[in-house]
Chain A
Amino acid sequence: MIGYVLRRLLYAIPILIGVNVFIFTLFFAVNTPDNMARIHLGMKRVTPDAVAKWKHEHGYDKPLLFNAQAAGTQKFTATIFFTKSVPMFAFKFGAADDGRDIGQDIKTRMLPSLALAAPVFLLGLLLYITFALTLAFFRATYVDYVGVVLCVAMMSISGLFYIIGGQFLISKLLHLVPISGYQYGTDAFKFLVLPVVIGVIGGLGSSSRWYRTIFLEEMNRDYVRTARAKGLPERIVLFRHVLRNAMIPILTGVVVVIPTLFMGSLVSESFFGIPGLGSYTIDAIRSQDFAIVHAMVFLGSVLYIVGLLLTDISYTWVDPRVRLS
């Protein structure tokens, strides 16, 4: 297995290079360093000299991909692409356009993101699986029909509606929790209740339907019929046999997102004022801060690759027939 993991990690290098090329091309296709400088320097009194100085200060005064003026390998290394991309592989994210160290910002913003995403993920998983098993258990009864209709209805509603509606109902009308904001430590609890509840409810429709489909597929298999024929109670059949055998498709969708929980939620963090990496990314996109966007995309890619690797490894834990080689 170690060989497999090492091989997968080596495969990650060209993928990350590809991601770098992609984000770089995409970003600079619509922005020039001059545009970035002007946005950063503001609307007033921006002189060409100030733009030139800004570009020099932030390392954007080089050619993008190929430096025809340079000699030897510097034709490739004395470029914006090389100087901005290579340090990423050592997790040196550099400074944002406002001068702040991105690595330091990521460290401080990672925990609030995790504080929101982890409970949504865990509670959501528990609720969705329980709800899906319940629907599967009561299949073709009114519970199943009502449940499926509810799921479809919930899937059809925009996530933003849950956020605004939740803030209006829970915080504005009932005064149960703060509408937005964040405090560190245990004080974070009261700020996280609402976004977590909304996050969980917002995902209920689609996830439960997906899990229900998986469970129903498993429940029609021979081993389930055999288990029932042996007289096992339905509870044991569902939780011990069906659930375990449905783990492979569940893990495929679940394990891969675990590392990316650190990346936070783009919309929820902005609406609830949670100082996580999601709102950090949104702000960077708005202000065209390439350094942050680049760092966040790179970090997201790394975590996604790690998630895929963990998914493969997790298969071996739930299904002894799977061997990584």
Chain B
Amino acid sequence: MTVSFLRVSACVMLLSLVTACGKVPWNDPYPVAERGKNILYSVFNERPKHLDPARSYSSNEVIFTGQIYEPPLQYHYLKRPYTLEPLTAQAMPEVQYFNAQGQALPADAAAESIAYSDYVIQIKPGIYYQPHPAFVQDAQENYVYQHLRPEQIAALQSPTDLPLQAKRELTAEDYVFQIKRLASPRLNSPIFGLMSDYILGLKEYGELLSRESNKLKSENGAEAYLDLNRYPLQGAQALDRYRYRIRIKGKYAQFNYWLAMQFFAPVPWEVEKFYAQPGMKEKNFVLDWYPVGTGPYMLAENNPNKQMVLVKNPNYHGDRYPSSGEPGDRASGLLADAGKPLPFIDRAVYTLEKEDIPYWNKFLQGYYDASGISSDTFDQAVKIGGTGEAALTPDMQAKGIQLKTTVATSISYIGFNMQDAVVGGLSERARKLRQAISIAIDSEEMISIFRNGRGIAAQGPIPPGIFGYEEGEAGINHYVYDWVKGKPERKSIAQAKRLLAEAGYPGGRDATSGQPLLLNFDTSAVGPDAKSHLEWLVKQLNKIDVQLVIRSTDYNRFQDKMLKGDAQIFEWGWNADYPDPENFLFLLYGPNKKVGLNGENAANYDNPEFNRLFEQMKNMDNSPARQQVITQMLEIARRDAPWVWGFYPKNYALYHAWYFNAKPNLMANNSLKYLRIDAKERERMRNLWNQPILWPIAVLLLALAAVLLPAALAYRRKVHAAPSARKAK
């Protein structure tokens, strides 16, 4: 009976396996209920640390906050160069300049004459926050959930488990409240230091809040609520329900760019007070994890250990897909949805995917809608043609996958510590040494070997797409390249050696002492990839008979070396905050040095002429005059060569055929609302690509049985032989 039962069970299992074929895929990682729905599937590879707009600064955080929070401005999705436009604002901010006596100045007033600038921003009426319990009021306009008992909070799985939710209109006060939050000692906003240099009174406001916070803590405990509404801020004030003013010290031409970042998005005071209730923090119910905004999406599931889910905000004020863009956008179908209401996608599911292999394979199976390309998968996805152009491999083309490339608004470079006795300083000797090294380090070769061609050799600090970058001969670094047959050609090693000899190191030896020139490269990079890259770097300097010693250390020691100025040559990079040359040229501005001043000028470059031109350039509008100043600055920097200019990375992204309106926008954080997917097509392709294959399992089981059968027979023989053997005895 047991045997027959086993046989029947096996038949049933086999039958169910066979009949399962041709239906839904077994390897679908998503719930059955989601099949065919208008949901976008994406990934995040590191758990976000902060979702509070005052704190969040990382790219893995803004993919969420960018869809939830709405600053007054945004970047046009399609236009290039990157262009700001109003988001919640009625129009671009009205900027008014004043002198020290408070008298209004014309728009073209000299920067030195401007004592302060007023940015007046009028927001659109009728914008509402997403539904949230913090907004619920009773008939007497008392907030219902602002005084929850600890046991009520303890019973909640999520703040939105509370039975009632309400909405509230966005007001100018909310923007002012958020600017005040930047100074809160309890939030430690990463831009407080920078903004306190610009927003009038913000620094003093931070000191006031620190004092008040300490006082409150000593009187009422560590969790006592610090009500920012009680403390006015001179530099940010609401003028009426829909208008507010930000007062900036002097002139800060780049301030509008900051107004497109989440740091300046509104936060409703009710929500902050709601989350400040005792017992909320212990449940991880904080604004940092349960954001509340006016954007097209709201966070429906917050599990940074596994999955983050955004769903459409039912109170979204509405927005339209842009009707214009770059030339070529219409031809490539990017204007097919022009004028249609946004957002298109109902729900976006972001899954934590820390390893590249599962991410890539799930993309190929259709379970992620888009993917980047890692070095390991590059050859599988992309083939480089004879003329250097990238195209998809036949496998990718067969799947209908689209490839989009864009040059990042960032730079990766090798820096010289300008305070170092050998490679640093502005002397002719040191300058020629750095120029020789700049020629010897072949960035084109590096891009080809280590980045699969994904990058452009840099000619200066400003990448393409940013004002100040020049194409063609005018834009090349004449200290490293010659313009030959319509393209830049790296100068010869012989020229580099000649420069080295002029620097006092003929044949790579100190002309005075005869000692070989030994330079040190400081790095925290580890692993096989880093090792081969470092070996390559050593070989590059060997070409000019210079010995490079790799001083590998851990990340912390490396950072300490950089801060103290103990590094000699190092690798560094910068990713733009905003698309303005100031955001790159400030990396070479003397008063922004890392050593002693803790700035972002990692090379500690300090050329008085460059500094003077920078101060002139930073407050200029984009114009031929500004371009002229930038050209002068670039000439000085190229001559001084504080960096081996390295490369501008090129981003490659893959999109499935059912993914529409994809146009990489490296400045906009709120791109999700523009994307559209064809969920039915996705479902069809997933079914086609993921049918279970069972015959290898059957073969495996048969092989196992074949191995075990002789053993089983031997066992039977042994068991049956034993009694007869005993009997024989």
Contacts and interface: CB of A to CB of B under 8 A. Distances in A.
Interface residues of A, number: 68
Nearest to A38: B559
Grouping DSSP codes into helix (H, G, I), strand (E, B) and loop, the B interface class, with mixed when no group exceeds half, is loop
A54 B194 CA distance: 16
A38 B188 CA distance: 13
A54 B499 CA distance: 47
A104 B282 CA distance: 7
B125 interface: no
Contact of B283 (A101, A178, A272): A101
A100 B284 contact: yes
B584 interface: no
Nearest to A146: B707
Interface in B44-72: 46-47, 49-50, 57-58
Interface in B480-524: none
Given A31-B556, A35-B559, A45-B190, A176 B692 contact: yes
A97 B188 CA distance: 12
A174 B691 CA distance: 8
Contact of B361 (A30, A54, A99, A167): A167
B722 A283 contact: no
Interface in A178-235: 178-183, 187, 190-191, 231, 233-235
Given A177-B27, A182-B306, A275-B305, A171 B361 contact: yes
B598 interface: yes
A167 B47 CA distance: 23
Nearest to B189: A50
Contacts of A173: 693
A287 to B, nearest CB: 8
Interface string B273-302: 000000001111010110000000000000
B63 to A, nearest CB: 16
B697 interface: yes
B571 interface: no
Contacts of B282: 101, 103-104
A123 B714 CA distance: 26
A187 B31 contact: yes
Nearest to A98: B49
B95 to A, nearest CB: 24
A323 to B, nearest CB: 39
A316 interface: no
B185 interface: yes
B545 interface: no
B147 interface: no
A75 interface: no
B358 A273 contact: yes
B355 A104 contact: no
A182 B353 CA distance: 11
A233 B722 contact: yes
A50 B193 contact: yes
Interface in B696-723: 696-697, 707, 710-711, 714-715, 718-719, 722-723
Contacts of B190: 41-42, 44-46, 50
Given A104-B284, A172-B361, A270-B354, A39 B306 contact: no
Contacts of A142: 710
B598 A180 contact: no
B31 A183 contact: yes
Contacts of A181: 29, 351
B358 A179 contact: yes
B598 to A, nearest CB: 6
B362 A50 contact: no
A168 B598 CA distance: 47
Interface string B643-672: 000000000000000000000000000000
B530 interface: no
Contacts of A128: none
Given A50-B193, A233-B722, A177 B355 contact: no
Contacts of B559: 35, 38
A201 B461 CA distance: 53
A61 interface: no
B219 interface: no
Interface in B338-366: 351-355, 357-358, 361-362, 364-365
Nearest to B281: A101
A197 to B, nearest CB: 12
A175 B358 contact: no
Contacts of A235: 719
Contact of A174 (B305, B352, B600, B692): B692
A76 interface: no
Contacts of A177: 26-27
Interface string A28-65: 00111001001111101111111001100100000000
Contact of A42 (B57, B289, B690): B57
Contacts of A137: 715
Given A31-B556, A57-B186, A101-B281, A273 B289 contact: no
A179 B361 contact: yes
Contacts of A175: 25-27, 365, 690-693
B554 interface: yes
Nearest to A103: B282
A143 interface: yes
Contact of B598 (A48, A101, A270): A48
A57 B188 contact: yes
Given A174-B697, A190-B26, A32 B556 contact: yes
Given A30-B554, A172-B361, A279 B28 contact: no
Contacts of B28: 178
A101 B694 CA distance: 45
A74 interface: no
Contacts of A48: 598
Nearest to A144: B711
Contact of A180 (B29, B49, B697): B29
B46 to A, nearest CB: 8
A54 B27 CA distance: 44
A275 B306 contact: yes
Nearest to A173: B693
Given A101-B284, A179-B361, A180-B358, A44 B57 contact: yes
A134 B283 CA distance: 51
A174 B697 CA distance: 9
Interface in A121-146: 134, 137-138, 141-143, 146
Contact of B693 (A105, A174, A180): A174
Contacts of A105: 284, 305
B234 interface: no
A25 interface: no
A164 interface: yes
Nearest to B723: A231
A183 B282 CA distance: 25
Contacts of A39: 555-556
Contacts of A50: 188, 190, 192-193
B281 A180 contact: no
A270 B719 contact: no
Given A101-B281, A183-B31, A42 B693 contact: no
Nearest to B577: A44
A108 B307 CA distance: 13
A178 B693 contact: no
B29 A271 contact: no
B636 interface: no
20 contacts: A30-B556, A45-B194, A49-B192, A98-B49, A98-B288, A100-B284, A137-B715, A143-B711, A167-B358, A173-B693, A174-B694, A175-B365, A180-B353, A180-B358, A234-B718, A234-B719, A270-B354, A273-B351, A275-B303, A283-B46
Name the 3 nearest CB pairs between A and B, nearest first.
A275-B305, A47-B193, A178-B29
Interface of A: 30-32, 35, 38-42, 44-50, 53-54, 57, 95, 97-101, 103-105, 108-109, 134, 137-138, 141-143, 146, 164, 167-168, 171-183, 187, 190-191, 231, 233-235, 270-273, 275, 279-280, 283
Given A95-B281, A175-B26, 4 more contacts: A30-B556, A44-B600, A54-B188, A179-B27
